[in-house]
Each structure stands twice: as C-alpha cells, then as structure tokens.
Amino acid sequence: MNLPLICLRCAKQECKDSTPGELHVCDHEVAYYNTGSALLRTESAVPFRNVSTNLRHELHHILQLIVEQANMMDPTLSTRRLDVNNPASRILGATIIIDHFIQMLAGVYEFHPDDTGAVQVGRRALAELTKKYFGIYSMVKSAHRSTGLKLTLDFPESALLPHALDIYEYLLALLIDNAWKYSLPGTTLTVRANQKSRYIGDISFRNVSEPLPQSMDVFARGTKARSDGPGFGYGLHWATILVDHYNRLVERPGEPLQITHRQTMRSNGTALQEFTLVNADLLVEGGQA
C-alpha cells in the first residue's frame, strides 16, 4: 500500500506504518488519521501542542473562577492542605488535577524561578506534600483505577524538600497518580526517603501491581501498562522531561537528578514496582532518613 505523505516535517515517514482506523500524533505533534488507503492530516495549520497550550490559557481563567467560588463556600481553604471530606476542598483538588494534566499536554514548564533565575526556593515537608497528593488522587473514581489503596510513609516527619518545590511537587503528583492507576486493590503505596548527604537523597515509591512485560520501557511516550486502559500513556514520560528540565536549571556535576524504575516479581504472581527519584533534593533535620 503506497500511502501519500501528509507533511514535510520529517524524513522518517513512520506515519506510513501507523495502524489503520486510528488517530495518531507523530513526534512533530502533527495529528493524522490512517484510513487504510490514505493518510489524512487533521491539523493543516495548527500543531497539537499549539492547540493544547492555548487551551490551557483559556481554561486558566475558568479554573481561577472555580477556585474563587470554592473559597466563597469555605474561606479557610488552602492548596497546602486539602481535606477530601470537605466538598469545597475536593473542588480545589480537582482544579489542581486539571491544571497539571493540561500542562502535560501543552508541554509547558510553568515553574516560577527565584531571584537568581534558577528554581523556586522554599522548604516544604515531604510528608505533607505526599499526603496532599495521595488525597487529591484518591478522589478520582474510575473502573481502571485502584480502590482501597493505603499510604505508608517510611521516613521521618522532619524530611524536607528544600529546593525546586514546584518541580518536585509535580513529580510527586505524577508518581502518586501512577500508583492509583495501577496498584492492585487493597494494597499499599510505600514512600521511602534515604538521605545520602546533607542535601541529597533518594525518594522511592513502591506499589504492588500486575507484572509488566520485561521489555516494556515505562518511560517511553505512549507506553501503557494496559492496552485497554484510558489515557495517553504520557505521565511517566512527562516525569522524565521534568527531570531533564531540572538538570538544565541546576548544575550538580556527578549528582544529576534521575528517575528510575525496577520491577521485582513476587511469589504470588504479582509484582513490586519501585520508582525512585535518585539524587533528589532532600533534607532531614536532626538525622538521617
């Protein structure tokens, strides 16, 4: 089958080998449809990324309005601590999920630098942020998400994220959301922190799931543990982009921030998934984590 080219953005022509009957988005953010006999480009003028970026710009005002109305319901609301039993607080948590999702689609780095032009400075408790996002993502109900997932924190309450808070918050959110998506019902997400030096440590997220194929690259764009699952298969890939973005902002020779994954098979046929932020900014006051 000799399919016509749909654009001149690249020379790979991988679009010719795409699956008939499905909508695709190529590496150059061009959306196209393979009819089986022809390739139809659905965005003749505006790339997908431009659409999603403008979508976020337009929705920003709507999200602000939702937050304002939620604050009228409960003036004590705060994004620092969300109460999943408070309807107004749940509304606030939903706006955070929407904003993160649109940032991921748009491919924007809306992070706020400090006066040095590097990254945001300020300390937040790791336990506080972990509980916050675990609570936020517990609100999302779907047949494809876990139920009854519990959280265990294996580090002192004194553990702090002392640097680049906006980036780390987003990474925590992505990894916690991933656990809610793929953990087996009634299991536990264990978050551990191990301080290796004064301001550097590893933060790991361990959950129990069905085994993944050994050949699967969980960080590749479009990778999904369940082929019938919803979503884009983009969350963990976006996490690697955030890590690369951080490393461009912060020069730490020999100790770059990394994100890794390891799968360990268990005797009952399930698997332990461990995602680790290696060489993360971590401070445990008064002792080692």
Considering only CA atoms, which of 177, 222, 205, 279 is closest in space to residue 24? 222
pLDDT digits (tens, 9 = 90+) for 4-27: 544 555 666 777 778 887 777 777
Strand ordering across the sheet containing 23-25: 23-25, 31-34, 39-41
AA identity, residue 15 = C
117 vs 161, residue with greater confidence: 161
Q: What is the pLDDT averaged over residues 36-50?
A: 64
DSSP symbol at 4:
P
CATH of 121-284, one of 3.40.109.10, 3.30.70.20, 3.30.565.10, 3.40.50.620: 3.30.565.10
pLDDT digits (tens, 9 = 90+) for 88-99: 888 988 888 888
Are the beta carbons of 245 and 114 closer than 8 angstroms? no
pLDDT digits (tens, 9 = 90+) for 167-222: 898 999 999 999 999 999 999 999 999 999 888 999 999 999 999 998 889 998 77
Q: Tell me the three state secondary structure of residue 287.
A: coil
pLDDT digits (tens, 9 = 90+) for 69-85: 888 888 888 777 788 88
Are the beta carbons of 162 and 284 closer than 8 angstroms? no
pTM: 0.72
Can you tell me the distance from the alpha carbon of 273 to that of 261, in angstroms, rounded to the nearest whole number? 7
Are the beta carbons of 259 and 274 closer than 8 angstroms? no
In the chain, CATH 3.30.565.10 covers: 121-284
Burial of 155 (0-12, 13-18, 19+ CB in 10 A): buried
Beta strand residue intervals within the chain, DSSP E: 23-25, 31-34, 39-41, 121-125, 150-154, 159-163, 188-195, 200-209, 258-265, 271-281, 283-284
Residues near 69 by beta carbon (within 8 Å), at least 6 away in sequence: 91
Angle between helices 126-138 and 165-182 (to 10 degrees): 40
